[in-house]
Each structure stands twice: as C-alpha cells, then as structure tokens.
Structure 1
Amino acid sequence: MSANFIYSYGESELLLAEAATRGWATGVAATHYANALAADMATLAQYNTTGAATVSPAAIATYVAAHPLVPATALQQINMEYYVVTSTTFNFNETFANWRRSGFPVLTPVTFSGQFITGQVPRRMPYPTTLIQTNGPNYAAAIQRQGADNFATRVYWDKQ
C-alpha cells in the first residue's frame, strides 16, 4: 500500500514552530522544528515501497542535531522545510499556498517569449472560463472585490 498524506504531523509541528517564533503560541519553536524534521524524514521514508531505502532512527537523530533552528533565520528555515516536505509528498496546492503566505522560498521569475505573465511568479489560478457563463453575476462581483482574474492578482492573504 502506498502512502497518501493529507496533512502530516510534521506539517503541524512546523506551523507550531512558526506560531511560537512569532509569539502567537506557547511552546519552544526549536522543539517543534526538531520534531518536524524527525517526523518529515520518517514520513518520506514511507513512500519507499521496495524497502531498499530506509531512514534509521539514528540517521534521523544525527540529521536533526546537525540542523538546529537558528533564531535569526527561524521563519526562513521553518517555511523552507514546509516547502520541501509538501513538495516531496506531492501536496503542491499546500506548497503553493504556503509560499504565497510566507514568502519562502524566495523564487526568481523566469521570463520567456509568449508566457502568460511577464516578470512575475504566478500568484493564483484564474477562474475557469465556464464560470463566466454559468455564474456571471457572482463572477463579476468577485472580480470587483478582489481584482483582475489573472495569474498576477494576489488573493487577500497573499503577502506582498
């Protein structure tokens, strides 16, 4: 049976680490971060269906000890780990949403001829064209509230 994760313990620990770093919650950010690293390594090991590659508890402990949370770069570390774990567990919607929320990692826009948005990383997905036909009045109201219906328009919680 292959693993399928909706929301992992490691993701939860990373959000707790961020909340503690920002002073939004009690707890020790470094402890939550260490718990997340260990949990994420164990989670990724579950994707191995052949049994050929395993991650031992000793290897996890060594890695966690070598990568402590540094207060000066805590938010970057936490959100980079979140980016890595949600990307490698194929939770790309969460990867994209957290990048927009946190700003990490810092991405470099790629410009090429004929692309749909120039000089920016896409910020949101446009509405399907069928929505204009099937729900025109609400579509128009939404566009008026939130801005143009294109890849460059930020959703309300997307950080500048």
Structure 2
Amino acid sequence: MTDASRTNASRTSASRTDAPAPQRADYRHFLVVPTRWMDNDVYGHVNNVVYYSYFDTVINRYLIDEGGLDIVNGPVIGLAAESHCRYRRAVAFPTDLDAGLRVGKLGRSSVRYDIALFPRGEPDAAAEGWFVHVFVDRGTRRPAPLPDRLREALARLA
C-alpha cells in the first residue's frame, strides 16, 4: 500500500466513523421495542447480540403486519444474507426503544433494510445498522420474486 492510498483509506475510514448519528426524521416506520432485564450484560448495558434481535423484531413485525408475510405457510420466506450494527452509545434496561425502519434497496428477490434504535423521544440514534433478506421459495430455497403485497409494503419505506 502506498502512502497516498493509506492516507485516502484513513480519510475514508474517518469520515464513516465521524458521520453524524441517524436522525429520527430519516425513518418512515417505528415500532416500540422495550428492553428486558435479561438484555443487560454484566457491564450494565444491553449486550451487543441483543441489538440484532431488536432489528429482526421491527423488520418481521412490519413484514407480517403490513406486507402480509405468512411465516408459517407462505410460499416465500426471507433468509438473512448480511447484517451489520454500529453501536453509538449504550442503552440499558428499562429503556424503551423506538426502532426506526426504512428500505435502503429493494430488488427483485432481496431487500436491504436500514434500522436505527432511538431511546424514546430522542432524535439521535443510539445504534444503527442494516440487514439484508433474500426471499426464497419455501420448498426449494431458490431465490423467488417478492409477492406483490410484500413489495408494495416495502416500497412505502423506500
């Protein structure tokens, strides 16, 4: 790696790290997610792996409630292909979180969700992340087009 490329890589990394926290106004759908006593770890804050559970909850509630996804008998299911979380500041039980959801990219058989977790009433996210679902045929596990109702619901969040 040359000195110039190291400098450019450092700038790129710094600009991502220093980006301002997502704002509540940037998200189109919210679900209240209460933290639970068992979510806290020995350090007194919600453990890192629990954030992915919060992400999964807001996404799947939206898919079921708004998109009509039948998780038991529907012809397609969503499989997790990628996920990421950036922890901006700690939260702890008994905080209620507003999980913000929007669609970053909507494909033929996949969707990338952007999620942010806001302590109730606060404008800045305590955590942010993304999650990619690939929708597949329930039986064959091959990629399948999103059903119309599901695509329409997701398009409202784009």
With the shorter chain as reference, the TM-score category is under 0.3
More helix by share: 1
Structure with more strand by fraction: 2
TM-score (norm 1): 0.24
Higher relative contact order (CA 8 A, sep 6+): 2
Taking structure 2 as the reference length, what is the TM-score of the superposition? 0.24
